[in-house]
Amino acid sequence: MADQVKGDRYLVTGGAGFIGSNIVELLLAKGRPVRVLDNFSTGRRQNLKGYERQIELIEGDIRDAAVVARAVEGCACVIHQAALPSVVRSVEDPRVSHEVNATGTLNLLIAARDAKVRRFVYASSSSVYGDSPELPKREEMVPRPFSPYAVGKLAGEAYCMVFSRLYGMSCVALRYFNVFGPRQDPNSSYAAVIPNFFKALCSGVAPLIDGDGNQSRDFTFVTNVAEANILAADAVLEGGEVINIACGEGISINGLLELLHEILGVGIEPRHGAQRPGDVRHSRADISRAARLIGYRPGIDLREGLRLSVPYYRQCAAPPAAAPAPGGRRTAGG
């Protein structure tokens, strides 16, 4: 990409991941030069297929300060998506969750400060609100993290605020609410509820609901989130802001399953298991600050986002094609 201006680059950490790759795609569609940093621990090369010649790729870990410094060099903006996802995984291994999500973020902030990066956009999480019964969740509420994952994300927010105040960096933290859509891995042992439901329903299997299913979430289509990151990268901000990114509407897990039954034209009764440790009961965002500060408005609602996701999840659930018979022909029945 010799025609790129070095200082105009956008570094997307975790750019081979679910959300990161959607951000990369949107940046490229807008003509922005992109560098990706990913260690492919949860990201997938398939997510960047077709874009290999349009991006600069650095394979490495955000826990490695030398790799991070090389990745940030010459970039105008860092869009930091790299993380070890999953509340459940953090409960099982809080140390590694902290090292990646908190210490890795600090490494990036130090490198961005030293490289005089113009804007640092940090992917935080609605999990920082914890199990407060107050709805909707507003950014000025006192955080009550309920899991090591939430603690790590909150630590990253605090570091962004401190670096903005101490070093004059322009950092903004986006609190995502239950993102879903194409490239979300339904086969991970830590897969979220929507890919799990799609996988089960497309395979004719009873979906599993953790707990009674009356818990509620504010599900947000990934294209909305990708657009929010670019808006946050470009907006005029003081630095240190925290902003909810969601649709501003809640739905119960039982209601979500009913909606998927309708969209897919199936009706498979669920199984119920134990409630997952670290999960919050209800979550719904106030997104007025996002509209005011960065001009964010979710363009795709839950129903439309689910409908747009159907082809991807049907493909994920499809059985692998049979190997061709000798001579290049396929056989039926052996």
Spatial separation of the C-alpha atoms in residues 280 and 128, rounded to whole Å: 10
Beta partners for residue 251, in sequence order = 217
User: Which H, E and C letters describe 213-282, residue by residue?
Assistant: CCCEECCEEHHHHHHHHHHHHHCCCCCCEEEEECCCCCEEHHHHHHHHHHHHCCCCCCEEECCCCCCCCE
Preceding peptide of 136 cis, ω within 30°:
yes
The amino acid occupying position 98 is: H
Alpha helices in the chain (DSSP H): 18-29, 65-72, 87-92, 94-98, 104-114, 148-167, 193-202, 222-234, 253-264, 288-294, 302-317
Instruction: Categorise residue 243: left if φ over 0, alpha if ψ from -120 to 50, beta otherwise.
Output: beta
129 as an active site residue: the answer is no
Quick one: angle between helices 253-264 and 193-202, nearest 10? 40
CA 312 to chain centre: 17
Among candidate residues 149, 159, 296, 313, the one labeled active-site is 149
From first CA to last CA, the distance across the chain in angstroms is 50
- The torsion angles phi and psi of 125, rounded to 5 degrees, stand at -150, 145
Q: Which residues are catalytic?
A: 149
